[in-house]
Amino acid sequence: MKRTIKSVFNKKNKKKIICLTSYSYNFTKIIDDLVDVVLVGDSMGNVLYGMDTTRSVDDQIMVNHATAVKKGADKSLVFFDLPYNRDFSESTTVKRVLSIMKKTSCDGVKIEGNTELKDVIKYLSKKKVPVMAHLGLQPQKFRSSKKFKIYGKDKKDLDNIISDSLCLEKSGAVSILLEGMLTNIAKEVTKTLSIPTIGIGASEYCNGQILVSEDMLGIFRDNHPKFVKKYADLSKNIRVAVNKYSNEVNNNKFPNKKFRYD
């Protein structure tokens, strides 16, 4: 059965919301029935394109990948990251979101930002566009991933994020993603809000969790953030398979009679 916004985001305090990233049709087909939400994250900049920042992912790149992911999602919801743009005005942001939604048929959008997003979320909510807000560590604000900082070490951070999260909830956000923050901050925000929180590096107290799929599967990055648990080591498996293929080709064992047309 196809998941709906209501069936997924009304789970607060009932059942955890399971999310993972995907950037392709084939991978989405693999995970589709195992997760609630597939996020077409701008993390593709790092994972697929070798960029040091998510800022280099533009709207057209997002459209290309989100379209492919949506085609592969029969059961899960598909949200896309709104890419970084220097023009963060309300009118431009709304126009970009609606354009990407129309081109991809995604189920919702995730947007990084604080209370400056309240009017954007209000407008999109009226247009029936579900918005997942994104607080805490916001990668688009950094020119390099090497400069990322854990959120919550400043004494004012708790009051600020509580105020911001309540504002965005009131504006119509269906959920809030909390990234890279101290446990007590994430716990307090989750307890305060009526809508669910999705955590990434924000402790088990969130109502759901998301990871970059390549990180949790052991693909690509050597230096993983502390919050990543590797559930597989696919890099090793891929190297073993490619090495075996190479050896068989060199030793004339592949292709053989079984794999040829006579």
pTM above 0.85, yes or no: yes
Annotated catalytic, 179? yes
Q: Are 44 and 23 in contact (CB under 8 A)?
A: yes
CATH architecture of 5-231: Alpha-Beta Barrel (3.20)
Q: What average pLDDT does this structure show over 136-147?
A: 83
Please write the tens of the pLDDT for every residue from 107-136. 999 999 999 999 999 999 999 999 999 999
Residue limits of CATH 3.20.20.60 in the chain: 5-231
Q: What average pLDDT does this structure show over 130-147?
A: 88
Of the residues 112, 116, 169, 179, which is catalytic? 179
Q: How confident is the model at residue 148 (pLDDT cuts 50, 70, 90)?
A: confident
